[in-house]
Structure 1
Amino acid sequence: MPVNSFENYPMSWKPNKKQLTPPLYRSIASLLEYDILNGYLAPNTKLPPQRELADYLDINLSTVTRAFKICEVKGLIYAVTGRGTFVTPNVRNAIFMADSDENKNSIEMGIINPLDHTNTLVTQAVKNIAEKDYLESLLDYRHPLGMPYHRMAAKKWMQRFNLEVPIENIAITSGGQNSFTLVLTTLFHPGDKIAVDTYTYPNFIELAKFLNIQLIPIDGDESGMLPERLDAVCSTNKLQGIYLIPSCHNPTAITMNMNRRKEIAQIINKHGLILIEDDVYSFLAPQDCLPISHYVPDKFVYILSIAKSLSSGMRVAFTAFANPFAEKITYGIFNVNVKTSALNAEVITELINSGAADQLIKEKREISKERNQLFQRYFQMGNPSENPLSFFRWLPLRKEWGLKSFEEHALTQGIHVYHSHRFLVKKDESLQFIRISLTSPKDANELDKGLRILKKLLP
């Protein structure tokens, strides 16, 4: 037993003793890594003295020393002689190091890796472009909305997913998040309200908070957002917009069917909402799906990021917009973006025009299908509206956990997953879930191992 009582003793970090499993030093290191990378320990936080922490945990000092050493090697913490041990001030570098293969102690099933091992075709496209005699023309400030033939490629790619838009209403942006920023800063104002699903894309949640835009959660069912609930909220609140991910909703993996899309579009038109349609997973949807934007031709912004479908590293998105928004969005691009890298856009254009893009998404769909079949050996898909090719799955937790306790516990067992609080818009923890990525494990064997661990954790 510890010599001292720590019940009311202030410590900057108190790991949960119940979550420690052998070998203890690795378990402590995993918990410390989790709390640093997820923001529970701020940069430059002074950690408890090793002897004090060992006393608190009732373990040998050498065990704590070994745990701290692991985190120090990863760049998560640093020691100053005579002063103590601190959380590194450069957490971004620490995250990069922690994600590298040589430092990884757990199977990644939290972050959605878009099967980047299929990048051979992208690499070949880059090599082809490097040999072109007009390469230098891609390195200037001309064409802030994108070079005309890049926008033609964007138009062609959008047609593949059943959206017909003139190139005058298309802009090339620096990825989906950049598009969201442009849209929220040009078409909305602080204090405006945007309808969203109860659980939605965390980066959109944080961006809205940053811009002081209020997100209004709308209840849904197995097919997605409920039109009657949206209508009711619009009737009692002045909403300006709505954000939806209909092809494969993040995090629930629901594909909104055509009837529901039409019903939602009717409410958008009725109340004059601005639709922000995030179709990053369009390539996983049935080929006959029409975007919601098709049904609201004067009220849409359609964002087609290529991060998941073609290349996460190129940071390109195709953004289409209705005529009434053209002037404001163009102004925003001129003054916020200046210009998206034409070199990146050239790579994506090369992929689209050569047919390599079609080959890429075909390969990704096949891999994702296989991984979903593996998932179904261990878990059932309870909702028939879930996309069968989804890169991720949404599983209920049948037992109440704290906001981060399940994530921490899973990490000590060797897998990294995300708890539903990360995606939750309203303050309601009565239902809890986890999102697991099927595409981040490096191969099917690693995914199988991760799923076996998860199956043991879920009663």
Structure 2
Amino acid sequence: MWQPNIDTISGPRYQAIAQALALDVQAGRLKPGDKLPTHRDLAYHLHVTVGTVTRAYAEAQRQGLLVGEVGRGTFIAQRNSTDVYFQPVPPPAGMIDMSLNYPPPEPLAEAALRASLEELSQRNDLSPFLPYQNYRGFESHRASFAGWIARQHRLLVDPQRMTITGGGQHAISAAMAAVAEPGDVVLSAALTWTGIRAIAEMMQVQLRGLAVDGEGVMPEAFEVACRSFSPKALYLVPTLQNPTGAIMSENRRRALAHIAERHNVAIVEDDIYGFLAPNAPAPIASIAPEQTLYVGSLSKSLAPALRIGFLVAPERFQQRILASIRATTWMTPPLMAEIAMHWIEAGRADQIAENRRREAARRQALARDILGLLAGDAARLGYHLWMHVPAPWRAVDFVAEARQRGVMIAPTEVFAVGRRPEMEAIRVCLGSPDSIDQVRQGLLVLRDLARQPTDTRYLAVV
């Protein structure tokens, strides 16, 4: 019978039980399909009321950890491994969430929104924002976003090849729908953004991971995969790769672009973090524009809730992109695009982006100061860092113990495509905590934990 130790977990007892359950799922001590004790049995063991256990199970079920079957009992849910680590809701009281790669708070964004809404309220030409509109979005919005991409991402794009989307993830989904069919092979880095795995699963395409080095995907691995699997696309984050934080050199970008052209493999280039690295090489789309579907978004640079992304693609993909937009959202709300354009044209967007760059650099500097060599050697520009945990820690156990101490992070496993890489590392997100003081507290917990020997309860018997 599952018998958690909740004595070291602060907060209400029902939350402590739910948190202990989440930790044991993360560490693999509870597996999908495992049956949990009855409410009465667990209450007796933990010396709490049956009502406390009922509330704890309800909280765990809300998080997707449990399923209840009438007449049979309560079981650990079958679920995607990433769901255990990423809960896009406010973290439990007292927890510092460094698992989600959010941008840091930016007061100017709220002021910009207020100014835009005030200006819109004085206009007498709002009727175009109410009916159905062109799938691609307004021409004025696409022209404004093209200017933004040129300034912030160092890429000249044709607005006629741009489709406005409901955020970057929507743009990537539309790009994937344009280049691949169910059963096709799509390539990515062996460690990559978790969302592409979810998209690949939804679209029933085969996602295969490629070997990486300090810059990202290795050309030799891409070449071999092109000859072996006849892939339809390669998904890349060349600037501030998620999760490793790597930035590809221009030579690496050219090498991958030339291989893609030679084998006619589309490149889906995710440049969502490009604005954070103004001195990085230009996007691959500038090297191979007819081979690249370029994805951008305002979520990390301006505000996630605007839900504005953009997809710039070669002409041969346009009809399938529009079919995907029509089948999913029909169009991106033009009112949100109008607000984003207002920020851009008024100069507020550039200031917000600059503020975000400064805050990211400030938090990265703090991380280097506290963690030292543990912070790794990736670029000191992004919202996250890739921290290698010292032996004999396993990443998943380090994450579980960090959560016990009030810090939420994510291990190597959730970013791996295919076979798990032989490394023990965690992604630490510096942008999601509300304040620099919370960042400092979280980093100190991780540093102190890394300096301590592994807790014997995490040592596996093999």
TM-score tier, shorter chain, comes to: 0.7 to 0.9
Instruction: Flag the 1:112–1:85 CA change in 2: closer, same or farther, 3 A.
Output: farther
Of 32, 43, 47, the match for 1:61: 47
Q: Does 1:140 align with 2:127?
A: no
- Secondary structure of the equivalent of 1:357? helix
Task: Look up the equivalent residue of 1:417 and give its one-letter code.
Answer: I
Partner of 1:128: 119
- For residues 48-95 of structure 1, what are the alpha-carbon distances to aligned partners after superposition, in whole Å with 9 as ceiling and x for unaligned? 23442256xxx54128865765676898499x9x99997999x9xxx9
Of 279, 284, 293, the match for 2:271: 279
1:53-452 matches, cutoff 5 A: 53=42, 60-62=46-48, 69=55, 76=62, 99-100=89-90, 103-118=92-107, 119-124=109-114, 125-160=116-151, 161-287=153-279, 289-380=281-372, 386-399=378-391, 404-428=396-420, 430-452=422-444
Q: Is the 8 A contact 2:43 2:53 kept in 1?
A: no
- Secondary structure of the equivalent of 1:313? helix
- Secondary structure of the equivalent of 1:62? coil
Instruction: Flag the 1:178–1:244 CA change in 2: closer, same or farther, 3 A.
Output: same
Q: Return the offset for 1:246.
A: 0.9
| Structure 1 unpaired stretches of 5+ | 1-5, 7-13
Q: Return the offset for 1:174.
A: 0.7
CA distance in 2, matches of 1:402, 1:20: 24
Q: Return the offset for 1:178.
A: 1.1
Q: Is the 8 A contact 1:176 1:305 kept in 2?
A: yes
- For residues 341-369 of structure 1, what are the alpha-carbon distances to aligned partners after superposition, in whole Å with 9 as ceiling and x for unaligned? 00111111111111111000111111111
Instruction: Flag the 1:324–1:86 CA change in 2: closer, same or farther, 3 A.
Output: same
Task: Look up the equivalent residue of 2:161 and give its one-letter code.
Answer: N
- Secondary structure of the equivalent of 1:395? strand
CA distance in 2, matches of 1:321, 1:167: 10
CA distance in 2, matches of 1:172, 1:135: 19
Partner of 2:8: 21
Q: Is the 8 A contact 2:18 2:56 kept in 1?
A: yes
Instruction: Flag the 1:326–1:107 CA change in 2: closer, same or farther, 3 A.
Output: same
Partner of 2:460: none
CA distance in 2, matches of 1:196, 1:342: 32
Q: Is the 8 A contact 2:240 2:246 kept in 1?
A: yes
- Secondary structure of the equivalent of 1:99? coil
CA distance in 2, matches of 1:297, 1:49: 60
TM-score (norm 2): 0.84
CA distance in 2, matches of 1:97, 1:191: 30
Instruction: Flag the 1:448–1:330 CA change in 2: closer, same or farther, 3 A.
Output: same
Deviates most, 239-248 or 378-387: 378-387
Partner of 1:52: 41
- Secondary structure of the equivalent of 2:304? coil
TM-score (norm 1): 0.84
Q: Is the 8 A contact 2:389 2:395 kept in 1?
A: no
Instruction: Flag the 1:120–1:15 CA change in 2: closer, same or farther, 3 A.
Output: farther
Task: Look up the equivalent residue of 1:208 and give its one-letter code.
Answer: A
Let me know the Cα RMSD of the aligned residues: 3.5
- Secondary structure of the equivalent of 1:373? helix
Q: Return the offset for 1:132.
A: 2.3
- Secondary structure of the equivalent of 1:195? strand
Q: Is the 8 A contact 2:368 2:375 kept in 1?
A: no
Task: Look up the equivalent residue of 1:360 and give its one-letter code.
Answer: I
Q: Return the offset for 1:184.
A: 1.8
Q: Return the offset for 1:140.
A: 1.4
- For residues 150-186 of structure 1, what are the alpha-carbon distances to aligned partners after superposition, in whole Å with 9 as ceiling and x for unaligned? 0101111121122222211011011111112212223
Partner of 2:82: none
- Secondary structure of the equivalent of 2:293? strand
CA distance in 1, matches of 2:88, 2:341: 33
Task: Look up the equivalent residue of 1:257 and give its one-letter code.
Answer: S
Instruction: Flag the 1:382–1:457 CA change in 2: closer, same or farther, 3 A.
Output: closer
Q: Return the offset for 1:375.
A: 0.3
Task: Look up the equivalent residue of 1:388 and give its one-letter code.
Answer: R
| Structure 2 unpaired stretches of 5+ | 80-84, 452-462
CA distance in 1, matches of 2:209, 2:383: 24
Q: Is the 8 A contact 2:27 2:400 kept in 1?
A: no
Q: Is the 8 A contact 2:35 2:74 kept in 1?
A: yes
Instruction: Flag the 1:35–1:278 CA change in 2: closer, same or farther, 3 A.
Output: farther
CA distance in 1, matches of 2:26, 2:377: 34
Q: Is the 8 A contact 2:190 2:418 kept in 1?
A: yes
- Secondary structure of the equivalent of 2:41? helix
Q: Return the offset for 1:388.
A: 1.2
Report how many aligned residue pairs link the two structures. Answer: 436
Q: Is the 8 A contact 2:374 2:388 kept in 1?
A: no
Task: Look up the equivalent residue of 1:140 and give its one-letter code.
Answer: P
